[in-house]
Amino acid sequence: MKLAVVGGGSTYTPELVDGIARLHTELPVTELSLVDPDTHRLALVAGVSARILARAGHPARVTTSTELEPGVAGADAVLLQLRVGGQAMRHQDETVPLECGCVGQETVGAGGLAMALRTVPVVLDAAERIASVAPRAWIVDFTNPVGIVTRALLDAGHRAIGLCNVAIGFQRRFAALLDVDPARVALDHVGLNHLTWVRSVYLRGEDVLPRLLDQHGEVIAKQVGLPEHVLRKLGIVPSYYLRYFYEHDAVVAEQRVTPSRASAVAEVEDKLLALYADPTVDTKPDLLGSRGGAFYSEAAVALLASLFGEGGDVHVVNVRNNGTLPFLPDNAVIEVPATVTSAGAQTWPIAPVSPLLAGLIGHVSAYESLAVRAAVTGGVDLVAEALLAHPLIGQASVAEKLAERLVEVNRPHLPWAP
C-alpha cells in the first residue's frame, strides 16, 4: 500500500509515522511518500520518519518529492495536512479578528474563514492533480478547517472523507477517567467539525456520561475550557471549540493580552525540527505532544485500516449529511459516527438533536456553505456575506470591515484579489 502525505514536511508527520509503526498489522503500508515544497523541512521529517519505522522493524520505505504528481502517483490513499501560509498567516487569523472585537481562532469565526479562503483553492487544485495520477485514491482530509475543506472536495466530486482528532481525544480521556480500554468506550458525538457535543458515553451498552460528570465534572470542564456548572446544566460535554461561542467575550479579553497560539506553536516547531535533525532521534519526541493533534496517528491509521481492510469499524468522520440530521440540507458536511468500509462511510440514525444544539449547528452550517462559495468564487462581497452569516460576527458593519481586512492581509494567497 502506498500512502502519500501532502504537507509531509509538517512537524505533525512523525506522529502519523509513529502510529503506522505501532499499528503495522492493521495498515500494511509499503511506501510512505512525503510531499512538500520545503526541501529543508522535508529532509528532516523524512529522516526521522525513516528512523522511527526502522526502529519498529517496519518494512515501509520513505520516499520524498517536492512535486505533487510524482509524489502521489499510484497512491492508494492521500492524506492532506496543509497549512497555506504557515504559522505566519495563522498568527494573522488569530489577531486580525480581535481588531473588531471578534474571537481570533484559526478554524472558528473570521480566522477560520481566512484560512478557508487561502486553503480551499489550493486543496481543490491538488485534488484534481491527484485524480490525474491516482484516480482510485481515497483523499483523507486533516487540513483545517476540515468541515469546509471536505465540503469543497465533495462538491467537486472527489473521493474524500474528513478527519479530526476531537472525538478520539474525548474517547481516550473518558476511557482514562473510567480506567478502561478505549476500545470499550463509544460516543454519541454530534455536530459539525469544531462544533460538536458528546451527548452520551457508552460502556458495555450503558450511558456513563452522568457518572463521569458527577465524579469528574471539574476535570472535564477544565479540559473543554468551560465552567463546570455549564456542563452540569447542559448534561452533555461540548468540545473545546464551543468555548469560543459560549464564552466569546471572555475569550476575546484573554486573547487581547496573551501571545497568539501561532507564536507558541512556531517556537515548538523550531525545537521539533532541531530534534528531527538529530540522527540519534528514532522515536516520536515527547515535545510533539505540545504541538497539538493528540491521537491524530491513531485516528488516521484506524480510519485508513477500515478503508483498505475488512472494514466495518466505527469512526467519527466528516461526511455528507444525507438526511442524518433532518434539519440540515443533504449536501451539508457533518461530524458524526459512521461505519467505514472500502465503499466509504455510512452514518447511523441518531437521536433527535435538541433545539439548543440544532440552532447553532444549522447557523454554522449555513455559514460554511457561504464560506465554500467565497473561497471558490472569490470576491470581497462574498467574504462579507459569509462573515455576516456567522453567529460570532453577524453585524453588517463588522462583517464589511473584517472582509476588507481579511482580503488585505491574505491578498498574496488569493489569486482573485486585486
Q: Within 13 Å of residue 244, how many CA atoms lie on the same side as its CB?
A: 28
The continuous run of DSSP H or E covering 303 comes out as helix 296-308
Is the alpha carbon torsion for 294, 297, 300, 301 positive or negative? negative
50 grid coordinates: 525513516
Cell of residue 364, nine digits:
454554522
**Other CB atoms within 10 Å distance of the CB of residue 321:** 19
C-alpha 290/C-alpha 65 separation (Å) is 28
Whether the CB-CB separation of 109 and 158 falls below 8 Å is answered with: no
The DSSP H or E segment spanning 404 is: helix 396-410
User: Which candidate in 12, 241, 276, 296 is catalytic?
Assistant: 241
User: H or E stretch including 346?
Assistant: strand 344-347
241 catalytic? Reply is yes
Strand pairing category for 195-203 and 313-320: unpaired
Report the SS3 class of residue 341: strand
- 346 bridge partner residues: 339
CA distances to 15, 20, 153, 377 from 275, rounded to whole Å, are 14, 20, 35, 42
CA 17/CA 239 separation, integer angstroms: 27
- Which of the residues are catalytic? 241
